[in-house]
Structure 1
Amino acid sequence: MSMPAAGVVMAFIIGYSIHAAWMYDYYWGCRTVYLPSVSRLLNLPLERILWNLLSLSSVPLQLFVVLRQYILTFSTSNKLQFLRIGLVISSVFQSLFLTLLATVGERESGDFHVAFFSGFAVSTIFNYSSFTILMRFTARDENSKYGRRRVTVLLGLMITLPTIFIAFILHNVFCVQGAYEAFAVFEYLTIILIYAFHVSNFYLFSDPSHKILICQRNGKTSAVRI
């Protein structure tokens, strides 16, 4: 997910450097708005090319992360196996909807863009929830602070993602005062939370102690080396 993040940062740099006049005081939906949203920024011509290039090129790396998560959460428990499969499927859908969001912007189809965002939101919450539960039951001797961080970020996303959708509808359908501002602010918060979740899991890729995990075999607990 670092490449999409780099795309967002670079888009902000370009936007504020050469397209600042396009980011404020523009008509969006039903009225003139003054707060630049992430969606607005990533739909500007040059910024969009950069964002699309980096986000689409990150898909193979995202699949590597999925594989790593699948290995880390090894378990023979049927219930946990179901979650592992769900983790992989939701990761694929998460990458798919992110790709669709990058290629189909509001200018092409606002309805499809909202539908793709909804799919991305649902798959993201399911993916993060599955990974949080799996790590709770399969990671050996994991410091509890990492689990608390995941839960905190996950709860935050369960608030911000639906709020973005509701605020979008309130602004574009009912033109409720302040709805756009809420939409823009919660977009920023959501991006921060998504990357906070990834940052909280960086240690899994470098700490060798997490290559030995706990699983259940014939009703007995045993350690498995990956």
Structure 2
Amino acid sequence: MSSSIPLSIKLNSSTERSGKSAIKQQKSGGVSEMLQGSGILGHDRPLVIRVSFSTCVVGTVGLPLLGLITCVFISSVFHYEDSTGTHCQVPNYLPSISASISLSPECHIWRFCIGLHSAPRLLVAFTYFKFYKTRFASKFSESLLSCLNLAFSLLENLGLLLLTYVSSSETYFVHKEGFVLFLVSSTIHMLITCRLWKTIKKYSLSPEDAKSHYWKVRFLLLNLSFCAFAGFFFWKHNVFCESGSYTLFALFEYLVVFSNMAFHLTAVWDFKSREVMVISSSEDKDF
């Protein structure tokens, strides 16, 4: 991808002792991580941490994936009856995501993973926004879609935080609304993203851009299909209370989340030559 994405975030300490922190994104030839220390007393050289953007994306997707698998495993092995029980009292063999993240210690594991991944996820969202604004500077419709894309990306993250920190066993209504917000926002976000990348592919000669658009569309279609199946089996379970219906709902619910994660993972192709740099310098201290 030939264009660069200027991104700079500065964080200043309230005590002004820790100096300045900056996160900068720039082109890089490959995956690299570097730590450059400073002297213990003189502080004459800044601390530099350089991480490829691909590593940041993989970590952002990998944290909730690891958390979900861990929670489902613990619920299935140690809290099977509590996590698979339903109001219909029919046999069920898989815990839903809401059930598996509402028990303890599962809820703490899930909240830790989601909380830790939220800041990098916001970084990815704003990086995409800056990239789109640069790419579509002369196109009004695409520029407008870029703003909407950022808004729905933020709403998706908000919905995820809401359903995470308010479990179904605490306040079911708030948890349900958070889940609906996440599902609707993520779907619209993926639709807009595919529309933007269709335009990018049209005017780009890069095979990476074509591959990114190809897989984005595939993961979107899979996500929509899994959502439809999950909704069908959820309705069937509540109306007919058939044995196994809730199990199939839980299975397709997993697949909805996995396809969403796979969609976000395509950012590895979009920014594979970029890196995130954190620079921290400290002023001399007099005691």
Q: When the two structures are superposed, what TM-score results if normalisation uses the length of structure 1?
A: 0.80
Q: In the alignment, which of 159, 166, 173 is matched to residue 104 of structure 1? A: 166
- Residue 2 of structure 1 corresponds to 62
Counterparts of 1:166 and 1:120, CA distance in 2: 19
- Residue 45 of structure 1 corresponds to 104
Is 1:60 aligned to 2:122, yes or no?
Answer: no
- Residue 141 of structure 1 corresponds to 205
- Residue 71 of structure 2 corresponds to 11
Change (3 A) 1:165 1:112: farther
| Contact 1:146–1:200 under 8 Å retained in 2 | yes
The CA deviation at 1:20 is: 5.2
Where does structure 1 lack aligned partners over 5 or more consecutive residues?
Answer: 209-226
Change (3 A) 1:38 1:120: same
The 3-state SS of whatever aligns with 1:31 is coil
Counterparts of 2:76 and 2:88, CA distance in 1: 24
Where does structure 2 lack aligned partners over 5 or more consecutive residues?
Answer: 1-60, 275-287
The 3-state SS of whatever aligns with 2:85 is strand
Greater displacement, 68-77 / 57-66: 68-77
Larger Rg: 2
The 3-state SS of whatever aligns with 2:188 is helix
Q: In the alignment, which of 147, 151, 172 is matched to residue 89 of structure 1? A: 151
1:53-75 CA-partner distances (Å, limit 9, x unpaired): 11022221111011111122231
| Contact 1:69–1:131 under 8 Å retained in 2 | no
| Contact 2:212–2:269 under 8 Å retained in 1 | no
Counterparts of 1:162 and 1:114, CA distance in 2: 17
The 3-state SS of whatever aligns with 2:114 is helix
Q: Residue type matched to 1:158 in 2?
A: L
Counterparts of 2:271 and 2:152, CA distance in 1: 21
The 3-state SS of whatever aligns with 1:45 is coil
* Alignment coverage as a number of residue pairs: 205
Q: Residue type matched to 1:153 in 2?
A: F
- Residue 263 of structure 2 corresponds to 197
The CA deviation at 1:13 is: 4.6
Change (3 A) 1:7 1:58: same
Change (3 A) 1:182 1:16: closer
Change (3 A) 1:67 1:196: same
Counterparts of 2:226 and 2:64, CA distance in 1: 19
Is 1:129 aligned to 2:191, yes or no?
Answer: yes
- Residue 19 of structure 2 corresponds to none
Counterparts of 2:80 and 2:131, CA distance in 1: 47
Change (3 A) 1:16 1:28: closer
| Contact 2:194–2:213 under 8 Å retained in 1 | yes
Counterparts of 1:61 and 1:201, CA distance in 2: 13
Percent of paired sites with the same residue? 23
Change (3 A) 1:175 1:45: farther
Q: Residue type matched to 1:113 in 2?
A: H
Q: Residue type matched to 1:156 in 2?
A: L
| Contact 1:153–1:196 under 8 Å retained in 2 | yes
Is 1:160 aligned to 2:226, yes or no?
Answer: yes
The CA deviation at 1:176 is: 3.6
Change (3 A) 1:186 1:16: closer
- Residue 151 of structure 1 corresponds to 217
Q: Residue type matched to 2:125 in 1?
A: V
The 3-state SS of whatever aligns with 2:94 is coil
Aligned Cα RMSD in Å? 2.3
| Contact 1:43–1:105 under 8 Å retained in 2 | yes
Is 1:29 aligned to 2:123, yes or no?
Answer: no
The CA deviation at 1:169 is: 4.2
